[in-house]
Structure 1
């Protein structure tokens, strides 16, 4: 029988102390992996419905083949893994600011690490997503001005509850308009949020994108004996006219 609780890794970083923990759920006996930044829970393998739905909803309206995708934020890898499950995806760049998180996957310390690192379509980029979003050269350091079919982001708790004040400008109209230039016509910007749909952010998306919507994803939370929700924002640029 495995230990009830184990701290697999702990590192000081510029953003705070990052830790990877594993515990055994007493009710199901399954292993639960958790990521914390200082005292703030970032992710748990017990609750992944929102992260998986983020990728699936982002890719749903896109063409039938040859999709190039950016995922901002690696975490435990559930959004990236869900994207790679779609056979239409030909390339995936995962942008992660913390090298420690990338290392967890490369060392197979997390359940999805081996699958992500062995998939030839997937590449990890160790840098700050928000800096790349503002970089006039674009997201791919090897191909300037490269466009993508989907840019999928799961970094902050929500547009209002950010991990760093430096992230806040990304959620304003000027930055999101710049982001549309990194998307193909008809391309998708998708964002995970732990908060309910935000009227202000919905209005920002409607101002910038051709279409936008907020999807509420429900999932059971046995720790609180209730149904919990995440929000997935999906915004699409103007498609090419036939």
Structure 2
């Protein structure tokens, strides 16, 4: 077995693995919903999916012709599902660093996974989205949606912190076509992120969303940065 396949354990319908990026668990809860945890930290579930969908729908609303979309972070596929529901979208590149999460989706451990993964518009790339954006050849995307962690204040993986800093955001901007938008999801208000995005993008916006998380009221945030049609590069 390679390092991404070690220590795979399965109890009943639950699946867990330890990879180079830490522990990943897909758990079947008593309420009938699936829950994804990374390194013991709640990431998302199938009960409250409005923020994952809002990441897509709000970004799609900001663009008149979003043909080409990049999603950083596969999660349980709800952002991807919302993007694919927009008939204007021609291609979706999903960048996910954890290969076993991709395998679980393809295998149907998340019920809608196989249909999403087999959509002809979808391209899956198992890689670090920061590297993919840095190495992107030109302004390839109308929308870049980043949902790789819980936001800059609640990191599951410390290495993801760099994605919320100016160099990585500038890479995201360069990968975005003029008139396009980069949207970053955060589990908490992040004024420092908004400030940095203001230095990188021509226009920025912070949007809050109330959610019910397992019976507890929470507020999640979307941070949007737009690239001017008149100035597509830094």
Residue 174 of structure 1: how far off its partner (Å): 2.6
Q: Tell me the alpha carbon deviations over residues 162-205 of structure 1, each in whole angstroms, 9 at most, x when there is no partner.
A: 23332222222232222211111011101111012x22211111
For the 8 Å contact 2:22–2:39, the answer to whether it is kept is yes
C-alpha distance in structure 2 between counterparts of 1:240 and 1:170, whole Å: 26
Mapping of 1:93-112 within 5 angstroms?
A: 93-112=93-112
1:213 paired residue number:
205
In the alignment of these two chains, the number of paired residues is 221
User: Where do 5+ consecutive residues of structure 1 fail to align?
Assistant: 26-30, 139-143
Once the two structures are overlaid, the 10-residue window that deviates more, 156-165 or 110-119, is 156-165
For the 8 Å contact 2:152–2:186, the answer to whether it is kept is yes
C-alpha distance in structure 1 between counterparts of 2:167 and 2:28, whole Å: 40
C-alpha distance in structure 2 between counterparts of 1:118 and 1:178, whole Å: 29
User: Where do 5+ consecutive residues of structure 2 fail to align?
Assistant: 1-10
TM-score by length of structure 2 reads 0.88
Secondary structure of the residue aligned to 1:205 is helix
1:190 paired residue number:
183
Find runs of 4+ consecutive structure 1 residues off by over 6 angstroms.
none
For the 8 Å contact 1:106–1:114, the answer to whether it is kept is yes
TM-score by length of structure 1 reads 0.85
C-alpha distance in structure 1 between counterparts of 2:29 and 2:62, whole Å: 37
2:113 paired residue number:
113
Secondary structure of the residue aligned to 1:235 is strand
C-alpha distance in structure 2 between counterparts of 1:96 and 1:235, whole Å: 22
